[in-house]
Amino acid sequence: MDVTTMTPESAALSPVAERLKAKLSDRSAWIGVVGLGYVGLPLAVEFGAAGFRTLGIDLNAERVRALNAGKNYIQDVPDEALARVARAGVFRASDRFDDAAEADVVFICVPTPVNPNKDPDTSYIRSAAEALAPHLHEGQLIILKSTTYPGTTEELVRPILDEAARELGLTLGKDYFLAFSPERIDPGNAQFTTANTPVVVGGVTEACTDVAALAMGQVVAQVHRVTSPKVAEMEKLLENIFRSVNIALVNELARLCDRVGGISMWEVVEAAATKPFGYMPFYPGPGLGGHCIPIDPYYLSWMARKYDFETNFITLSARVNEEMPHYVVDAVMQAVAAQPVRLREAKVLILGAAFKKNVDDTRHSPTLKLMELLGAAGFDAVDYSDPFVPSLAVSIGGQALRRESVPLTPETVRAYDVVVLVTDHADYPYEMIAREAKWIVDTRNAFAHVREPSATIRVLGGGHF
């Protein structure tokens, strides 16, 4: 594929960089991907499909075994795509970093969580870089893809690689290369995939940007170059903070609509979205979920504090969004209070454990928080149903428990006093649920199309939650 947004003048490149570019262009380069999760596995399969010999490295031996047996565990990767690259012998997985010695380009796609104090946990990046360092060699390009605070590539990864490079007499930008290129994958999005979503690339030197842009351009149609890894790191955080702030805004307005009554925030957003410029729709919900939006803003506020700077937008939006599960619990309590059942005996069924529709990813799902809060509020019988999530690890009253998804039949729906719609999966039998349930707390306006429901339905932001 073409690299469409290269800067017109590239820096004069070293012979080593020219050789790497030639290997990328004729697809004889070996690609390594460290961390075979939601980000790393689709990327590895994409490079394999483009004809590159690709090696995936993951510390999780079970994942490695599964992949080498042709078993897929990431919903966005078609089983057939994995089978094809495995059959063609262009992809294999390993849990040994020794194998990275063969790779010309290595992508680091490891997790970047926060610790209990919501400070960045970059230990996965550090350990991946430390494990790669002994295998650094002339002509190797390392690209960090994990979302992180500005400065990570140059201040955390670079010193680890530089130390190894010094012993080998290698110079960054001439003999080996380092860049940051954030990931934009949107699990479950059928329209925008790795191939047709533009990517941003920022290298430590211009030559690093050059080779990294060419590497990304092998599997992505459009590459946008920036002047440094820091710009690329900050750009990714801007994308996610933009979402978090706008979601907080509609969440706050949804609560105002509930307070005022008679105004549906869903109708308001739909109307505002008819404006063809200067507006894009965001929707209220039961709280943020996933590995990115609830986590990434904290990376920036942590970094900002080092500069005596308060990121007020981030703090405020986190506060508003984190309040949403509590708001939903209040709505469940009101639903119980309106029925002839005592709170302790009330049965609550949560629909959806995945953090967004039509995916199986439960990381930081609002359902986990809701189960914990409902348990703390005195509800003994809280179950969930999710066709994508057969079982779920939850923490209730400080106890780690495992819950199984309840089959969604008219009998089961009838057995619950309150049904809480958290994730609006397309396949839920909405008509049946609205017919059989007593009370529905709908956090996604998912029952809007059901005509004459038998259940009482309270919609978050619907004007009378």
Residues involved in catalysis: 292
Closer CB to ligand NAD, 186 or 206, in the complex: 186
68-127 residues in contact with ligand NAD (CB under 6 A) are 109-112, 124, 127
Tell the smallest beta-carbon distance from residue 39 to ligand NAD (Å).
Answer: 3
When binding is defined by CB under 6 A, the residue of 94, 146, 367, 385 that contacts ligand NAD is 146
In the bound state with ligand NAD, the residue whose beta carbon lies nearer, of 17 and 131, is 131
Shortest reach from residue 241's CB to ligand NAD, in Å: 13
283 binding ligand NAD? (CB under 6 A): no
Residue 36 binds ligand NAD (CB under 6 A):
yes
Instruction: Give residue number: closest CB to ligand NAD.
Output: 37
Q: Which of 20, 128, 178, 421 binds ligand NAD (CB under 6 A)?
A: 128
Question: What is the SS3 assignment for the chain?
Answer: CCCCECCCCCCCCCHHHHHHHHHHHCCCCEEEEECCCCCHHHHHHHHHHCCCEEEEECCCHHHHHHHHCCCCCCCCCCHHHHHHHHHCCCEEEECCHHHHHHCCEEEECCCCCECCCCCECCHHHHHHHHHHHHHCCCCCEEEECCCCCCCHHHHHHHHHHHHHHHHHCCCECCCEEEEECCCCCCCCCCCCCCCCCCEEEEECCHHHHHHHHHHHHCCCCCEEEECCHHHHHHHHHHHHHHHHHHHHHHHHHHHHHHHHCCCCHHHHHHHHCCCCCCCCCCCCCCCCCCCCCCCHHHHHHHHHHHCCCCCHHHHHHHHHHHHHHHHHHHHHHHHHHCCCCCHHHCEEEEECCCCCCCCCCCCCCHHHHHHHHHHHCCCCEEEEECCCCCEEEEEECCEEEEEECCCCCHHHHHCCCEEEECCCCCCCCHHHHHHHCCEEEECCCCCCCCCCCCCEEEECCCCCC
- Candidate segments 34-42, 134-142, 305-313, 456-464, binder of ligand NAD by CB under 6 A: 34-42
* Contact flag: residue 58 with ligand NAD (CB under 6 A): yes
- Closer of 107 and 447 to ligand NAD (Cβ): 107
Segment contacting ligand NAD (CB under 6 A): 38-46, 210-218, 378-386, 397-405? Answer: 38-46
Identify the residue among 6, 37, 118, 138 touching ligand NAD (CB under 6 A): 37
Q: Is residue 453 a contact residue for ligand NAD (CB under 6 A)?
A: no
Question: To the nearest whole angstrom, how small is the minimum distance from the Cβ of residue 292 to ligand NAD?
Answer: 5
Q: Which residues bind ligand NAD (CB under 6 A)?
A: 34-40, 57-60, 63, 109-112, 124, 127-128, 146-147, 183, 185, 187, 291-292
